Structure 1
Amino acid sequence: MNKRKIVFTVTLAVIIISILGYSAFAGVDNEPGGSNDPLVTQSYVDQYMQWKVAELKTGQVLQCHAGTEFIPRRGQAVVVDSTGNGIPDVTAGEDIHAGSATPLNHLLIVPRDDGRGVKAQSPAVVMYRGEATIQ
């Protein structure tokens, strides 16, 4: 009879320890891409993946850094490009050169960090993703 109590107590103790151990580690998220091991950081997503909106006054320039994407949404704007290479219009599949109007709702991507961007000819709204400054 005493041996049964010992086996029962040991079995019960093992079950309780197993349940407690599982409960302690069940909330740990070590999966790649999980909150404890993200594939990218929140600051990266905030800076590079989310669209920002620039409301440009007439004459202001949205000067973009390399890799910045932008979409002219309202108003009239022209491409600023001192290199003469233009800015790729991904939507139309062509380059837009300095002084040419930017078509509304087209995705444009600045390939290099050399001062390219867009200048407002009238109040304009431009969505952009990446790094840019308004001058």
Structure 2
Amino acid sequence: MKRSKIFKYKYPILLVVIMTSFFTVHIVRAVTAVSPEPGSDGDPVVSQSYVDHKISEIGAKLETANTTISDLTKKLTEAGEKINKLTAANETINKQLKEIQPDSFKFQPLELKAGQKLLAGASTEIVLRSGSAKAISGTYGGLSDITAAQSADLTTGAPIALNHLLLASRDDGRGITAVKGCWLIVKGTYKIADK
């Protein structure tokens, strides 16, 4: 007996149907596993008010950040202005330092004749090298004898020892009077007065 053409392909068609069903089930499972169902823990549903609230929070944070950036920009501008002022002041000071005579930072030899007075400025240093001289007190005290074994405050009329370093701490009339001609070395500002 001859088989009909329908039965000739019976098993291959059945195999195709089974395979198609198998793949369809697995594809559906894979798709549902990848994209969670709306409203589940994997894909929660949110309300419009929640979204609006989050957007307003982000807007507030951006506004705060903009305010902070504005404040920092203002402070940087102020700091730049202060730096410019300090730079200008520094240039002025450097210019003034260049104009100061370097000799005022060195000991200079000076001769006093008998009866002449040396009135020292603030921070002036004096050393009697030869001759004889006496101290002159100022309004607030005398000359500091730094070389003395026990620091001495030399008041008016006190004899000055040779080669002792004297310091006038203030510009208040302190100085020395030459008893007879003498040589000094002086560092700082001073005035010479006759008798």
TM over 0.5: yes
Q: How does 1:1-135 map to 2 (within 5 A)?
A: 41=97, 43-44=99-100, 46-83=102-139, 85-92=141-148, 93-135=151-193
Deviations 1:17-68 (A, max 9, x none): xxxxxxxxxxxxxxxxxxxxx8x94554614311111100000001110010
Distance 1:84 1:41 in 2: 30
Query: Do 1:70 and 1:108's aligned partners in 2 also have CA atoms closer than 8 Å?
Result: yes
Structure 2 gaps of 5+ residues are: 1-93
Name 1:34's counterpart in structure 2. Answer: none
Residue-pair matches, total: 97
Structure 1-normalised TM-score? Answer: 0.65
Deviating 4+ runs (over 6 angstroms): none
| Bigger CA radius of gyration | 2
Aligned amino acid, residue 104 of structure 2: Y
Percent of paired sites with the same residue? 34
The CA RMSD measured in Å over matched residues stands at: 1.9
Q: Which runs of 5+ in 1 are unaligned?
A: 1-37
Letter in 2 for 1:53: P
SS in 2 for 1:102: coil
- Paired with 2:152 and 2:108, the residues of 1 have a C-alpha distance of 24
Query: What code does the residue aligned with 1:76 have?
Result: S
Give the aligned residue type for 2:189.
E
Please report how far the alpha carbon of residue 75 of structure 1 lies from its aligned counterpart in structure 2 after TM superposition: 0.5
Alignment-derived partner of residue 25 in structure 1: none
Of structures 1 and 2, the one with the larger relative CO (CA 8 A, separation 6+) is 1
